[in-house]
């Protein structure tokens, strides 16, 4: 303990006394200066880190957006390529329907409960769709693998509600059976007119008319003709040409 030495002269002698110092100790200036410099560094680091995270997030969003855009473009190109490669009258389906104004099926809920006998569209639109379906039937697009109602509706430049209505009302069947009938009629025609088709395996015939498996093809073929593919080919080879029109139409009405 520091202090000042005071000397007092007394009659009895000399007495030494230490008084405490009233001046405080000097502060640790380097430590305070270090803390004051560290705080701005922390703030800058936080700002930089936040900026990096924001930039990374923005780039991630842009990358995802570009990927989705590329995927949509690929689907459009695939759709366009399928449409361009159509054979026969079906090639002009899009242009033939371009001048028809299709009412969108986004009306009120009463649209959904209309009686079956009431049309969903104008007579002009209805007749045009029927014409396009005739062109579709005269082509071979129905043999496309994974043919679906949305795909055909897009090809005809209409919507699935209208197309399903037309098929149900005028073809007296649902979309799936409608496509299967066209496929079987196509392959029956090929077997009758071109003998080389009779040499093909059942799996090749199934693939030719768009079926995903030969077993499914064989089952539907028999349901609509009354014969298995093999039995039908034997009949043709023996010179018998059965009339299948009544059988096909009967199956379609079931």
Per residue in 140-188, pLDDT (tens digit) is 999 999 899 999 999 999 999 999 999 999 999 999 999 999 999 999 9
Single pTM value for the model: 0.53
Residue 241 included in any domain:
yes
Q: What residues contact residue 44 under an 8 Å CB cut-off, 6+ apart? A: none
CA neighbours within 13 Å on the CB side: how many for 117?
0
Is pLDDT of 110 > 50? no
Number of domains in the chain: 2
Give the domain-ending residue among 152, 170, 188.
170
Q: Which residue has the tokens 């104008």?
A: 122
Residue 142 near residue 182 (C-beta atoms within 8 A):
yes
- Using CB atoms within 10 Å of the CB of residue 192, give its burial: 0 to 12 exposed, 13 to 18 middle, 19+ buried: middle
Q: At 148, phi and psi to the nearest 5?
A: -140, 165
Domain that holds residue 95: 88-170
pLDDT of residue 13: 46
Give the domain-ending residue among 170, 194, 227.
170
Closest to 80 in 3D by CA, of 162, 155, 8: 155
Residue 186 included in any domain:
yes
The predicted-structure confidence for 19-70, as pLDDT tens digits, reads as follows 454 555 555 555 555 566 667 777 787 888 888 888 887 887 776 566 555 5
Residue 15 included in any domain:
no
Same structural domain, 154 and 194: no
């Amino acid at each position: 303990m520091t202090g000042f030495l005071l000397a007092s002269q007394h009659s009895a002698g000399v007495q030494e006394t230490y008084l405490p110092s009233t001046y405080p100790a000097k502060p640790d200036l380097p430590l305070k200066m270090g803390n004051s410099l560290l705080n701005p560094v922390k703030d800058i680091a936080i700002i930089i880190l936040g900026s990096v995270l924001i930039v990374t997030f923005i780039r991630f969003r842009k990358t995802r957006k570009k990927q989705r855009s590329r995927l949509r473009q690929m689907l459009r190109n695939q759709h366009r390529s399928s449409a361009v490669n159509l054979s026969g009258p079906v090639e002009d389906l899009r242009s033939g329907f371009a001048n028809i104004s299709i009412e969108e099926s986004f009306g009120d809920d009463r649209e959904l409960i209309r009686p079956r006998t009431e049309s969903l569209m104008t007579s002009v639109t209805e007749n045009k769709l029927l014409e396009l379906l005739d062109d579709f039937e005269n082509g071979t697009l129905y043999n496309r693998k994974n043919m679906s109602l949305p795909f055909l509706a897009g090809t005809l430049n209409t919507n699935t509600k209208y197309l399903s209505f037309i098929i149900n009302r005028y073809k007296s069947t649902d979309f799936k059976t409608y496509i299967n009938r066209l496929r079987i009629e196509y392959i029956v025609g090929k077997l009758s007119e071109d003998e080389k088709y009779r040499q093909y395996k059942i799996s090749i015939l199934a693939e030719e008319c768009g079926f995903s498996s030969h077993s499914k093809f064989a089952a539907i073929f028999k349901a609509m003709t009354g014969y298995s593919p093999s039995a039908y080919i034997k009949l043709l080879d023996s010179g018998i040409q059965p009339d299948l029109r009544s059988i096909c139409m009967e199956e379609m009405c079931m």
